[in-house]
């Protein structure tokens, strides 16, 4: 019951923050002039009617010289229309200036671009977590021996080399010099074919090398602290073998800290792979966002901003909440 | 002396005590060590941190000084010298096959003869040491190709009449040959791509072919196909006057028929004179005589990008911008952060709760969104300001929460209570008693935000969200993006230098920062953050 209340409180606070950020974004974006993108051969009437139907402008009049005049709907009213359309119809608007997807449903375009981003993320977690944890465990068990030193050097290098450079190096060596992989990700829509997977491998590695180093470092620190605990001594004294003691007592306890960070990283990385996506030509949300900036497509920007903000906020509270679930001794937010 | 008979000490052994015999507390022989001296001592013991600090200092020095040592600017570009490889005078004079402005080239016979012909005409080592090897099949030749001299004449160049005269004047003054005899329009290859190639100055086997093969004489050399006229006859109207250096003597040359001939050094066209100017010499002439921008010769220490920008200058200016920018933001974050954090931490309670909510909300906005919104509102002209505001808007929160933590840690300690009892006001307690205790930690972590800020700035300009090129500066990220494109053109050095800079910076800053943290916070030594 206590946990339930705590989770509710955190969720409530999160939604409140989310709402404020969304409102700020909306207000700031609506203070800008409305970009009207009339392509040659297009009827301006239709464009203005569309904008009117979206609830952006009203009183559209065509002047004698062919110039259209209109009044802008007050921002708060626009916000009301925007929110009610999302809630009642699930309508996030249509693309108004982003050339490639002009007049398409924003939500549909967004959902179509989600799979590559999510896949990239899942693959990188699937590869990164076992390797990272493994290295960390080895380093902790062999603390201050050569295995530990070796892993330490590896970890420091990986953490210090910026991911841009790391990704570029991977691309240069494996995609260009050795030509084991294509330079860019395949654009095929069948995401579960070998071809697509094969073309994603360099990007997956570029993304997970950093987190491997992070996990290894974190696991080593946690596990080596747990290993010095007195209950470990007790476990050995009562007759458990070393591996039994490590597996049953040390690992479980260190996982209390490690597991939430994996969860949070998994969620957080969703928004953090802009560079990797742009470098390996992955047709995901990151590229969409970059193009939205160039095209000034406001509704699209709102949706993606909301997405990124939500991802960030969720990653933040997941750690706190999962602590409480995994280890009942930890009472988050308790006085 | 043995202490065996303590009970029976003879009376004469006792003396009356003097005042001077009292032992007072003596002064310490050692010098007192202040907090910062201690921190410095601990820091100096950490070898890795010292090395990191030195490397950071070198990089900062590079960023501050290097822009003054190069005449090139980030806005400079020269498409003729695009993808020119790095060249250092030191290495090229040593004769080492490294950093000499050359690259390995595998070519067929046609390309080889073209390079050889260029070398023969200009007298430059287009092929390094004139040394090339042939593979077993006999069709591929490999040699070190000089990317500077290899540009040769580029395309036929149209210059104004005034410049034509000015170049002749320059030639007469300095004795350097910029203009070479031109080829008659009718004698040139006919295909569009070859017609304007000024490097084809020789007689060809088939002018109509797509691939131009030079006609070799019995000695295997090319025959020049210069446009010439007899000295005593009236020259063609298309040939402008020329009174400067001539190859083969000032007075023309004697042809096979025993008559004196002159070569034509230009061709009158609409808007000026079309000439064959050797680009290396023309470049020197143009920059020393016309632009007067301090560039004395084409020499790019780190090579050039695909658009002919000097990588050294771009890197130096980009690094300088990065450092100055990061330090300014760090100082701003530090100032606002400590004020905010100390108020929240000292007063606590409702004030703290309220202030925390504000930082919570601000901190939850992704930086990317802030930048985008600012960019929409402020346009493309003030990118530096956009960067500054967006980094500052969320950056100070970290500083504030750190200061808050420090205040929570110290504010209930006895010495603070004592100061309060003695009647010290809040401000005095905050900044005289509590703050100096947390200063070490706060300053260290403030300094540690510098590399991460440089990295964020680099990635933003890599993604093209921020473009600093408008204001005669550039960013390491822009260079890396250019480098990534150049990888496909097998010009890895474009990406190498900015990447090396960034790696070195991050690595050394990490070592330096960890050492600094351990030095200021001995209790945290070796802790993983």
B234-250 pLDDT, tens digit per residue, is 777 788 887 777 777 66
Q: Do B480 and A274 touch (CB under 8 A)?
A: no
Say whether residue A227 is in contact with chain B using an 8 A CB cutoff.
no
pLDDT at B400 over 60: yes
| Of A137-141, B257-261, B402-406, B477-481, minimum mean pLDDT range | B257-261
pLDDT at position A85, please?
87
Q: Do A220 and B377 touch (CB under 8 A)?
A: no
Task: Report the SS3 class of residue B264.
Answer: coil
Instruction: Report d(CA A182, CA A201) in Å as an integer.
Output: 10
Instruction: Report d(CA A106, CA A303) in Å as an integer.
Output: 8
Percent of chain A residues topping a pLDDT of 70: 94
Q: Please, what is the end-to-end C-alpha distance for chain A in angstroms?
A: 16
Say whether residue A28 is in contact with chain B using an 8 A CB cutoff.
yes
B202-237 pLDDT, tens digit per residue, is 888 887 887 888 888 877 778 888 888 887 777 777
pLDDT at position B55, please?
93
pLDDT at B527 over 60: no
- Provide the shortest C-alpha distance from residue B372 to chain A (in Å): 6
B163-207 pLDDT, tens digit per residue, is 888 888 888 888 888 888 888 888 888 887 788 888 888 888 887
pLDDT at position A186, please?
74
β-pair type (B179-180, B141-146): unpaired
pLDDT band at A329 (very low <50, low <70, confident <90, very high): low
Average pLDDT of span A200-223:
87
Average pLDDT of span A53-80:
80
Instruction: Report d(CA B379, CA B370) in Å as an integer.
Output: 14
Domains of chain A: 36-95 (no CATH), 107-326 (1.10.3720.10)
Q: What are the residues facing A68 on neighbouring strands?
A: A62
pLDDT at position B272, please?
85
Residue matched to tokens 């967004």: A110
Average pLDDT of span A99-103:
77
pLDDT at B336 over 90: yes
Asked if A167 and B462 count as a contact pair (C-beta separation under 8 A), the reply is: no
Say whether residue A102 is in contact with chain B using an 8 A CB cutoff.
no
Instruction: Report d(CA A193, CA A115) in Å as an integer.
Output: 13
Say whether residue A168 is in contact with chain B using an 8 A CB cutoff.
yes
Domains of chain B: 101-149 (no CATH), 153-291 (no CATH), 311-524 (1.10.3720.10)
CA distances to B63, B338, B406, B450, B515 from B436, rounded to whole Å, are 32, 12, 10, 22, 20
Torsion of CA A207, A211, A213, A218, to 10 degrees: 180
Q: Do B364 and A162 touch (CB under 8 A)?
A: no
- Provide the shortest C-alpha distance from residue B513 to chain A (in Å): 12
- CA of B380: which chain A residue's CA is closest? A294
Higher pLDDT, B472 or B458: B458
| Spatial CB neighbours of B489, under 8 Å, sequence gap ≥ 6 | B83, B306
Instruction: Report d(CA A277, CA A13) in Å as an integer.
Output: 32
pLDDT at A54 over 50: yes
Asked if B371 and B386 count as a contact pair (C-beta separation under 8 A), the reply is: yes
| Spatial CB neighbours of B152, under 8 Å, sequence gap ≥ 6 | B118, B122, B126, B198, B199, B278, B279
Instruction: Report d(CA B86, CA B303) in Å as an integer.
Output: 4
Percent of chain B residues topping a pLDDT of 90: 9
Task: Report the SS3 class of residue B272.
Answer: strand
Percent of chain B residues topping a pLDDT of 70: 96
3-class SS shares of chain A: helix, strand, coil, % to 5: 70, 5, 25
pLDDT at A131 over 90: yes
For B499, which of A165, A217, A313 is closest by C-beta distance?
A: A165
| Spatial CB neighbours of B33, under 8 Å, sequence gap ≥ 6 | B41
Residues of B with CB under 8 A from a CB of A: 360-361, 364-366, 368-369, 372-373, 375-377, 455, 458-459, 462-465, 477, 480, 483-484, 487-488, 492, 495, 499, 502-503, 506-507, 510, 527-528
Strand order in the sheet with B253-254: B228-230, B260-263, B253-254
CA distances to A159, A160, A221, B54, B509 from B46, rounded to whole Å, are 20, 18, 21, 13, 14
Torsion of CA A14, A20, A22, A27, to 10 degrees: 180
Closest CA to A19 of B370, B365, B354, B351: B365
Residue matched to tokens 């920062």: B513
Average pLDDT taken over every residue of chain B: 83
Chain A residue numbers touching B372 (CB-CB < 8 A): 293, 301, 305
| Of A238-242, B460-464, B467-471, minimum mean pLDDT range | B467-471
CA distances to A248, A287, A315 from A309, rounded to whole Å, are 39, 17, 10
B281-304 per-residue burial string, b: 16 or more CB within 10 A, e: under 16: bbbbbbbbeeeeeebeebbbbbbb
Chain A residue numbers touching B492 (CB-CB < 8 A): 172
Torsion of CA B288, B293, B298, B303, to 10 degrees: 180
| Of A150-164, A176-190, B72-86, B138-152, minimum mean pLDDT range | A176-190
Instruction: Report d(CA B95, CA B128) in Å as an integer.
Output: 9
Percent of chain A residues topping a pLDDT of 90: 4
- CA of B462: which chain A residue's CA is closest? A275
Asked if B232 and B252 count as a contact pair (C-beta separation under 8 A), the reply is: no
Closest CA to A204 of A300, A90, A88, A121: A121
pLDDT band at B328 (very low <50, low <70, confident <90, very high): very high
Chain A residue numbers touching B458 (CB-CB < 8 A): 162, 164
Task: Report the SS3 class of residue B416.
Answer: helix
């Amino acid at each position: 019951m206590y946990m339930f209340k705590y989770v509710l409180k955190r969720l409530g606070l999160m939604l409140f923050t989310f709402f404020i950020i969304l409102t700020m974004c909306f207000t700031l974006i609506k203070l800008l002039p409305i970009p009207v993108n009339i392509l040659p051969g297009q009827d301006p009437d239709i464009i203005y009617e569309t904008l009117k139907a979206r609830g952006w402008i009203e009183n559209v009049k065509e002047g004698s010289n062919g110039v259209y005049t209109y009044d802008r709907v007050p921002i708060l009213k626009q916000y009301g229309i925007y929110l009610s359309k999302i809630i009642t119809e699930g309508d996030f608007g249509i693309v108004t200036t982003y050339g490639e997807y002009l007049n398409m449903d924003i939500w549909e375009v967004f959902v179509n671009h989600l799979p590559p981003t999510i896949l990239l993320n899942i693959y990188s977690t699937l590869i990164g977590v076992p390797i990272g944890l493994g290295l960390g465990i080895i380093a902790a068990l062999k603390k201050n021996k050569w295995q530990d030193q070796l892993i330490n050097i590896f970890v420091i290098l990986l953490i210090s080399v910026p991911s841009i450079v790391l990704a570029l190096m991977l691309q240069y060596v494996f995609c260009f010099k050795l030509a084991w992989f294509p330079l860019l990700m395949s654009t095929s829509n069948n995401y579960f074919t070998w071809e697509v997977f094969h073309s994603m491998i360099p990007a997956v590695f570029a993304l997970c090398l950093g987190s491997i180093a992070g996990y290894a470092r974190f696991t080593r620190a946690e596990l080596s602290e747990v290993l010095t605990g007195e209950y470990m001594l007790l476990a050995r004294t009562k007759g458990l073998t070393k591996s039994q003691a490590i597996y049953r007592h040390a690992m479980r306890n260190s996982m209390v800290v490690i597991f939430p960070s994996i969860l949070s990283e998994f969620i957080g990385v969703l928004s953090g792979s802009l560079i990797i996506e742009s470098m390996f030509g992955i047709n995901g949300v990151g590229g969409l966002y970059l193009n939205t900036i160039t095209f000034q497509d406001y509704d699209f920007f709102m949706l993606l901003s909301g997405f990124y903000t939500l991802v960030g906020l969720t990653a933040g509270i997941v750690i706190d909440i999962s602590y409480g679930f995994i280890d009942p001794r930890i009472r988050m937010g308790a006085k | 002396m043995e202490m065996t008979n303590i009970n029976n000490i003879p009376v004469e052994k006792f003396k009356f005590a003097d005042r001077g015999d009292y032992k007072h507390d003596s002064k310490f022989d050692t010098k007192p060590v202040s907090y910062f001296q201690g921190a410095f001592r601990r820091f100096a013991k950490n070898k890795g941190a010292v090395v990191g600090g030195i490397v950071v200092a070198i990089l900062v020095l590079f960023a501050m000084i290097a822009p003054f040592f190069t005449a090139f600017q980030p806005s400079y570009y020269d498409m003729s010298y695009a993808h020119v490889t790095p060249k250092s005078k030191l290495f090229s004079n040593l004769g080492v096959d490294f950093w000499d402005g050359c690259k390995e080239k595998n070519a067929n016979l046609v390309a080889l003869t073209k390079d050889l012909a260029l070398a023969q005409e200009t007298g430059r080592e287009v092929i390094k040491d004139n040394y090339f090897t042939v593979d077993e099949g006999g069709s591929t030749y490999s040699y070190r190709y000089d990317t500077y001299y290899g540009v040769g004449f580029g395309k036929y160049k149209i210059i104004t009449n005034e410049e034509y005269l000015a170049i002749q004047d320059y030639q007469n003054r300095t004795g350097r040959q910029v203009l070479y005899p031109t080829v008659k329009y009718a004698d040139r290859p006919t295909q569009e791509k070859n017609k304007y190639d000024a490097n084809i100055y020789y007689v060809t086997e088939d002018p109509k072919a797509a691939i131009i093969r030079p006609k070799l004489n019995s000695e295997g050399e090319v025959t020049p196909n210069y446009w010439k006229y007899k000295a005593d006859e009236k020259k063609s109207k298309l040939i402008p006057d020329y009174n400067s250096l001539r190859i083969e003597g000032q007075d023309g040359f004697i042809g096979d028929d025993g008559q004196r001939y002159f070569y034509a050094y230009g061709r009158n066209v609409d808007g000026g004179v079309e000439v064959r100017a050797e680009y290396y010499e023309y470049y020197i002439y143009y920059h020393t005589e016309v632009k007067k921008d301090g560039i004395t010769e084409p020499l790019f220490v780190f090579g050039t990008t695909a658009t002919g920008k000097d990588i050294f200058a771009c890197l130096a200016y980009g690094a300088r911008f990065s450092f100055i920018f990061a330090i300014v933001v760090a100082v701003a974050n530090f100032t606002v952060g400590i004020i905010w954090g100390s108020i929240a931490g000292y007063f606590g309670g409702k004030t703290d709760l309220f202030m925390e909510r504000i930082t919570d909300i601000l901190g939850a906005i992704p930086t990317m969104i802030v930048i985008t919104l600012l960019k929409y509102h402020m346009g493309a002209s003030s990118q530096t300001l956009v960067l500054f505001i967006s980094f500052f808007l969320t950056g100070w929160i970290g500083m504030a929460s750190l200061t808050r933590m420090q205040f929570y840690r110290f504010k209930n300690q006895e010495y603070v209570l004592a100061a309060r009892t003695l009647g010290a006001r809040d401000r005095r307690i905050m900044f005289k008693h509590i703050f100096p205790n947390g200063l070490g930690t706060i300053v260290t972590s403030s300094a540690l935000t510098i590399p991460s800020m440089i990295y964020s700035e680099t990635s933003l300009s890599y993604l093209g969200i921020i473009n600093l090129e408008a204001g005669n500066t550039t960013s390491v990220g822009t260079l890396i993006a250019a480098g990534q494109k150049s990888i496909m053109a097998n010009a890895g050095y474009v990406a190498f230098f900015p990447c090396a800079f960034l790696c070195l910076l991050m690595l050394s800053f990490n070592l330096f920062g960890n050492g600094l943290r351990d030095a200021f916070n001995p209790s945290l030594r070796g802790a993983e953050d």
